[in-house]
A and B are shown apart, each in its own frame.
Chain A
Amino acid sequence: MNVNKANEGMNDSNIAHTSITPPSATGELLVILGHAPHGSSLLREGLDMALVAAAFGRRVSLLFMGQGCWALQPGQGEGALGQKGTQSTLEMLEMYDIDNIMVEAESLERLGLESSDLVLSVSVVDAASVQQAIASHTLVMNF
């Protein structure tokens, strides 16, 4: 991908409204979270996958996209069917040394969320950085 070359100057004005931070490090596992907390168990399963890998010493990155960004909205408590809340799990990620947490800028904007309102400090990334993150991890799992 020639994403770096294409960015010389002309794209700066397009992206000025979001804070774009490129993913800091490559890692072994990238877990992509694309589902909201309680519509399915996919968010929880993705987080569990990330925690298991981290518990075994793998370097894990997370990428929230689409509806998955709702997980970062404060107050994601217990679900109507008694499912565990995901906010406490997100707060626990740092204890598992999972600190490369990315959110796709366009998804955030579409959901009307601000990165400053989220429960974690995250890197807001553009589409090119998403591609780069997917390419730079050995294993990518999509939930």
Chain B
Amino acid sequence: MASTEIARYLEVGQQRVALDPEGYLVDLTQWTPEVAEALAVEDGLTLTSDHWEVIDVLRNFYQRFEQAPAMRPLVKAVGQQLGADKGSSIFLMRLFPESPAKVGARLAGLPKPTNCL
């Protein structure tokens, strides 16, 4: 569920992007690739083409189903769109350590996945 509580702002160029207490965008329409880069820096990540492909899968998923995916459906969606070799939790853990579904959703400008503890 997208939170409406603004905890802080992230400065991205001229833009002031409101973040909720867990670091997800409050206004999902503010997302741009630059915002993703800035969020990645906070997480100590450098975005590679592999990251961008998964971010794309995440944004497609949200557009189609109106919810951010938990880990299992994310693995399945990545497998379907990027090929079976990438549709594995190990591949995703390497890109977005600790919790690919949560970290990925944050960088992709989606709400926090609801079915993911």
Contacts and interface: CB of A to CB of B under 8 A. Distances in A.
Contacts of B67: 88-89, 92
Band of interface residues on B: 10 to 19
Given A51-B115, A88-B66, A89-B67, 15 more contacts: A51-B70, A52-B115, A55-B70, A55-B71, A55-B72, A55-B73, A55-B116, A88-B64, A89-B65, A89-B66, A92-B73, A95-B65, A95-B73, A95-B77, A97-B76
A96 B75 CA distance: 10
A57 interface: yes
Nearest to B69: A95
Contacts of A48: 114-115
Interface of B: 61, 64-67, 69-73, 76-77, 114-116
Interface of A: 48, 51-52, 54-55, 57, 84-85, 88-89, 91-92, 95-97
13 contacts: A48-B115, A51-B70, A51-B115, A55-B70, A57-B72, A84-B66, A88-B64, A88-B66, A89-B66, A91-B64, A92-B64, A92-B73, A97-B72
Nearest to B74: A95
Contacts, number: 39
Contact of B65 (A52, A57, A92, A97): A92
Task: Give 4 nearest A-B pairs by CB, closest first.
Answer: A55-B70, A95-B73, A92-B65, A88-B66
Contacts of A55: 70-73, 115-116
Nearest to B76: A95
B65 A91 contact: yes
Contacts of A92: 64-65, 67, 73
Contacts of B71: 55
B64 to A, nearest CB: 7
A52 B71 CA distance: 11
A91 B69 CA distance: 13
Contacts of A54: 72
Contact of B73 (A52, A85, A88, A96): A96
Contacts of B73: 55, 92, 95-96
B25 to A, nearest CB: 18
A54 B71 CA distance: 10
Specify which of B64, B66, B76 lies most central, judged by the most chain A CB atoms within 10 Å of its CB. Answer: B66
Contacts of A95: 61, 65, 69, 73, 76-77
